[in-house]
Amino acid sequence: MLCGGKGLCATCQVVVTSGHQNLSPIGEKEEAALKRLASRSPGSRLSCQARVLGDVTVKMPDSDYITHVDEIEARIGTRAPRDIMHSEDGRLLVRSGQLITKYVITQLRKSLNQ
């Protein structure tokens, strides 16, 4: 992942659907990263931080993660198929179903200082 498995970027977020008891406890670093995520759910964990101690079932969140606006600029004129989140801080950039326009791209550039 972007942070190299240090539990900082939250791009490895998964949602645990069963086997919560078979994971290591959430540490302070993981908890801080998860708190920043708009897409966090009660079963969210960072796969780089959760040690698997037995059977666990996870699903991937319905989000795309980007670090730079250029990664979605080619989607102008389409609707976002999933939430688009900033990969470093988990901010929601474009909501699922929102039309991606030049105005949206301009606003993203301003908010991300790009």
- Nearest Cα residue to 93 out of 113, 69, 58: 69
Residue 7 lies inside a defined structural domain of this protein: no
Look at phi and psi of residue 56 and say left if phi exceeds 0, alpha if psi is from -120 to 50, else beta.
beta
Same domain, 70 and 106: yes
Residue type, 65: Y
Residue 8 lies inside a defined structural domain of this protein: no
Residue 5 lies inside a defined structural domain of this protein: no
Residue 2 lies inside a defined structural domain of this protein: no
Residue 22 lies inside a defined structural domain of this protein: yes
- 0.85 exceeded by pTM: no
Lookup result for tokens 């992942």? 1
Edge-first strand listing for the sheet containing 13-18? 44-46, 13-18, 57-59
Same domain, 70 and 51: no
Task: Dump pLDDT digits (tens) for 35-78.
Answer: 877 668 889 999 999 999 999 999 987 778 787 888 889 899 99
Domain membership of residue 35 as a residue range: 13-59
Residue 6 lies inside a defined structural domain of this protein: no
Burial of residue 104 (CB within 10 Å: 0-12, 13-18, 19+) is: buried
